[in-house]
């Protein structure tokens, strides 16, 4: 008797077929998935396979991508720092050669022709330094600072001008991103911009357009914004919101609106015709009668910052209409008319000399500080005007390195209205420090013996014995010389008008003048005493005599020069060419200081290089750890996948066999 297998139920063939195909498809799908895993080597082929692991893998991918970029950046940084190190080494070798020449020529008596020949060698060293200064790495010019795309040193006539960026270029270097991979202004080559630091606090007045962000504030900590309280004659308080105030005008308008509201609500009169305005550097409020008081909310200092209260009960009234001075800082939009430091005097013209060329700077039409800057910088002057860090004065700087006759000077001119002095940018004025003379070497005096002798035309001698207290500023020096001269003239029964020390005007220079009647008998002169360097360092030994012999104008030793290797090499070449032993010695001292800076810079660059190499190792170790973790999460286990693949193949084959057999059964098989 025939039997029907228990695995077959009473069901249509279509149902058997559909069930069999479903099982075969599931097996085929799993087989496809395993096949893709084996082909790609990945355990997760799409995020939906495992959302948690996929999110972790995505994070690791992003971290590894950044890590790869950091490693590339570190490679660029290493190349740039290596190039810097080699350039500094080459520059040091070059300066050592110049030092050797300077030492030989200053210590061994040589003739002018020999020194002139050595000057030609120094000229070639200057050209070599120019090439070194413009050396490039993969990131650009290594001495270009933050702008390495252009050569940082340009040949400017017979001088050299620094046009690179400040600071150094930074890159994403992981944990050492603070390391600059280039050098900029103030680098070891010495591309330093010499500057005239303004000596006058221009003290701008407060205007409606003055930004609150440009105020030092009554507490010298800036100005905050927010809510303040106001009340009149100890009446009810009103809150004023200054959060949206950007300028002084905004703050004044908001305060005015609040006061008007207070007047309406309480039936009082507070403001006079002057309203809320500005006076000098302070906010002013016209209160004809009564006391208007401002105060801060707890934890706030807005009213104190704006000078509306001192925190101790100060009020605005008829006798006290102005608040505290808010000390506005200079900005390029500051009107010239608001510069109270000028004392109301109009601006005129100044004389600017740089790179051997003289420029007349006309400031009579300047309306803002930006106009003053434009006037100085226009016309190929190659100077830059900047606002001082404290926002009180302006500085004028040059980046042109040349010989002494190419130095920068700013002087007064006839009819110029003392404009250079008004702006505080005259290079040789009464307030000029003698420590700034001679390229920063200053002026030295004998401690116990006289320094120099002034001889008048009739033979009368005035002995000058300077002390450290006499060489603070130019005015200190003039006062000391005049005092000693007056004492000696008076003791000899002569009028004090026989001699006077003063400052040249127009122009720059210390002037020694004698009475014209004495000049008719002979010229005035100066002689150094006791080997004191004071007369030479003050420029008195290189003074210019007028035709009458009544006045001698000292050489301007306060001229501004760039303190860098180019300047000192050019000075050495000039001293050798003119057979100036003292000049050779001075250039030697400056070059020695430059060599020391090169050594220091090489040490810094070497330290940077070591940090870069250490960071590369750290990043590579981190990369290995991240890649290992990602592999554990993402990569397929080939042994397990191969076993599963074989199982699925067998399962598919079995399924196909069973399906084929089931499709062969008919009704006759069932009836048996």
* CATH code where residue 120 lies: 1.20.1330.10
Q: Give the residue from 427, 451, 469 where a domain finishes.
A: 427
How many CB atoms are closer than 10 A to CB 565? 29
Q: Are residues 216 and 164 in the same domain?
A: no
- Residue 47 has a pLDDT of 83
Query: Minimal CA–CA distance to 187: which of 220, 145, 247, 236?
Result: 145
Q: Crossing angle for the helix pair 565-577 and 112-133, nearest 10 degrees? A: 160
Q: Are residues 443 and 541 in the same domain?
A: yes
- Residue 3 has a pLDDT of 43
- Residue 207 has a pLDDT of 94
Banded model confidence at residue 415, pLDDT cuts 50, 70, 90? very high
Contact 366, 372 (CB under 8 A): yes
Q: Are residues 410 and 442 in the same domain?
A: no
Confidence check: pLDDT of 13 > 50: yes
Confidence check: pLDDT of 413 > 80: yes
Q: Are residues 72 and 181 in the same domain?
A: yes
For 198-215, what is the mean pLDDT?
94
- pLDDT tens per residue, range 468-493: 999 999 999 999 999 999 999 999 99
Q: Where are the alpha helices (DSSP H) in 275-386?
A: 302-305, 369-377
- pLDDT tens per residue, range 637-666: 888 878 888 887 888 788 788 777 766 655
Q: Are residues 68 and 182 in the same domain?
A: yes
- Residue 621 has a pLDDT of 94
- Owning domain of residue 389: 336-427
Confidence check: pLDDT of 70 > 80: yes
Strand 551-553 and strand 510-514: the pairing is antiparallel
How many CB atoms are closer than 10 A to CB 458? 15
Confidence check: pLDDT of 52 > 90: no
- Residue 366 has a pLDDT of 96
- Residue 1 has a pLDDT of 40
The C-alpha angle with vertex 113 and arms to 536 and 404, in degrees rounded to 5, equals 35
Q: Is 283 helix (H, G, I), strand (E, B) or coil?
A: strand
Provide the 8-state DSSP code for 64: H
For 46-56, what is the mean pLDDT?
85
- Residue 228 has a pLDDT of 96
Phi-psi region of 155 (alpha: psi -120 to 50; beta: other; left: phi over 0): beta
- What share of the chain has pLDDT > 90, as a percent? 72
pTM of this prediction?
Answer: 0.79
Does 392 reside within a domain?
Answer: yes
Q: Are residues 238 and 165 in the same domain?
A: no
Query: Minimal CA–CA distance to 73: which of 617, 627, 616, 624?
Result: 616
Q: Crossing angle for the helix pair 112-133 and 51-107, nearest 10 degrees? A: 170
For 506-530, what is the mean pLDDT?
95
For 105-126, what is the mean pLDDT?
89
For the chain, what is the mean pLDDT?
90
Domain count, the chain: 4
Banded model confidence at residue 106, pLDDT cuts 50, 70, 90? confident
Does 295 reside within a domain?
Answer: yes
Query: Minimal CA–CA distance to 587: which of 438, 484, 367, 446?
Result: 438
Helix (H) or strand (E) holding 612: helix 581-634
Rounded to whole angstroms, the Cα distance separating 491 from 498 reads 13
599 Cβ neighbours under 8 A, 6+ residues apart? 92
Q: Are residues 362 and 395 in the same domain?
A: yes
322 forms bridges with which residues in the sheet? 284
Rounded to whole angstroms, the Cα distance separating 471 from 433 reads 8
Q: Give the residue from 527, 553, 579 where a domain finishes.
A: 553
- Residue 477 has a pLDDT of 97
Q: Are residues 65 and 167 in the same domain?
A: yes
194 forms bridges with which residues in the sheet? 398
Confidence check: pLDDT of 18 > 90: no
Does 528 reside within a domain?
Answer: yes
Q: Are residues 280 and 373 in the same domain?
A: no
Does 327 reside within a domain?
Answer: no
Does 452 reside within a domain?
Answer: yes
Give the Å distances, CA to CA, from 583 to 147, 482, 592: 36, 30, 14
């Amino acid at each position: 008797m025939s039997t029907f297998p228990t695995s077959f139920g009473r069901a249509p063939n279509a149902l058997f077929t559909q069930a069999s195909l479903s099982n075969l498809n599931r097996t085929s799908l799993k087989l496809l998935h395993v096949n893709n895993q084996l082909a790609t080597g990945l355990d997760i082929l799409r995020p939906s396979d495992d959302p948690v692991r996929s999110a972790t893998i995505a994070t690791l991918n992003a971290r590894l991508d950044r890590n790869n970029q950091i490693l590339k950046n570190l490679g660029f940084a290493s190349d740039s720092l290596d190039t810097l190190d080699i350039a500094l080494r080459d520059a040091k070798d070059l300066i050592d050669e110049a030092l050797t020449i300077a030492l030989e020529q200053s210590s061994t008596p040589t003739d002018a022709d020999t020194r002139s020949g050595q000057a030609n060698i120094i000229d070639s060293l200057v050209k070599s330094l120019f090439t070194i200064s413009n050396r490039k790495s993969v990131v650009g010019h290594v001495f270009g600072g933050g702008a390495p795309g252009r050569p940082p040193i340009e040949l400017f006539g017979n001088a050299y001008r620094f046009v690179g960026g400040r600071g150094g270029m930074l890159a994403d270097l992981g944990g050492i991103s603070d390391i600059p991979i280039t050098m900029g202004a103030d680098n070891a080559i010495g591309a330093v911009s010499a500057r005239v630091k303004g000596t006058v606090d221009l003290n701008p007045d407060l205007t409606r357009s003055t930004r609150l962000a440009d105020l030092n504030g009554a507490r010298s900590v800036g100005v905050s914004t927010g809510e303040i309280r106001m009340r009149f004659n100890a009446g009810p308080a009103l809150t004023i919101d200054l959060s949206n105030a950007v300028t002084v005008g905004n703050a004044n308008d908001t305060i005015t609106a609040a006061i008007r509201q207070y007047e309406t609500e309480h039936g009082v009169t507070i403001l006079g015709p002057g309203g809320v305005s500005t006076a000098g550097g302070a906010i002013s409020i016209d209160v004809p009668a009564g006391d208007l008081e401002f105060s801060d909310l707890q934890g706030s200092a807005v009213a104190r910052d704006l000078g509306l209260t001192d925190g101790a009960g100060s009020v605005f009234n008829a006798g006290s209409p102005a608040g505290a001075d808010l000390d506005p800082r200079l900005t390029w939009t500051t009107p010239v008319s608001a510069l109270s430091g000028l004392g109301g005097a109009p601006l005129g013209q100044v004389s600017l000399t740089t790179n051997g060329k003289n420029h007349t700077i006309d400031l009579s039409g300047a309306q803002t500080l930006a106009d003053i800057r434009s006037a100085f910088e226009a016309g190929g002057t190659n100077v830059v005007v900047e606002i001082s860090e404290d926002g009180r004065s302006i500085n004028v700087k040059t980046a042109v390195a040349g010989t002494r006759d190419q130095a920068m000077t700013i002087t007064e001119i006839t009819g110029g209205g003392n404009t250079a002095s008004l702006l505080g940018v005259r290079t040789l004025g009464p307030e000029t420090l003698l420590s700034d003379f001679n390229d920063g070497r200053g002026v030295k005096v004998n401690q116990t013996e006289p320094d120099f002798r002034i001889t008048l035309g009739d033979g009368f001698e005035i002995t000058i014995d300077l002390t450290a207290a006499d060489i603070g500023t130019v005015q200190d020096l003039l006062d000391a010389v005049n005092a000693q001269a007056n004492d000696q003239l008076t003791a000899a029964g002569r009028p004090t008008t026989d001699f006077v020390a003063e400052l040249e005007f127009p122009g720059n220079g210390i002037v020694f003048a004698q009475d014209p009647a004495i000049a008719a008998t002979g010229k005035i002169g100066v002689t150094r005493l006791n080997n004191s360097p004071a007369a030479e360092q003050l420029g008195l030994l290189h003074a210019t005599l007028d035709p009458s012999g009544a006045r001698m104008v000292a050489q301007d030793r306060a001229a501004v020069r760039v303190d860098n290797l180019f300047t000192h090499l050019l000075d050495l070449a000039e001293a050798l060419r003119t057979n100036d032993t003292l000049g050779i010695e001075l250039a030697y001292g400056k070059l020695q200081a430059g060599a020391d800076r090169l050594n220091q810079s090489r040490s810094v660059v070497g330290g940077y290089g070591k940090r870069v190499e250490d960071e590369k190792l750290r990043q590579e170790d981190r990369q290995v750890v991240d890649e290992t973790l990602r592999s554990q999460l993402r990569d397929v286990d080939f042994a397990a996948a191969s076993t599963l693949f074989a199982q699925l193949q067998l399962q598919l084959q079995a399924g196909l066999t069973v399906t084929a057999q089931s499709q062969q059964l008919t009704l006759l098989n069932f009836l048996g």
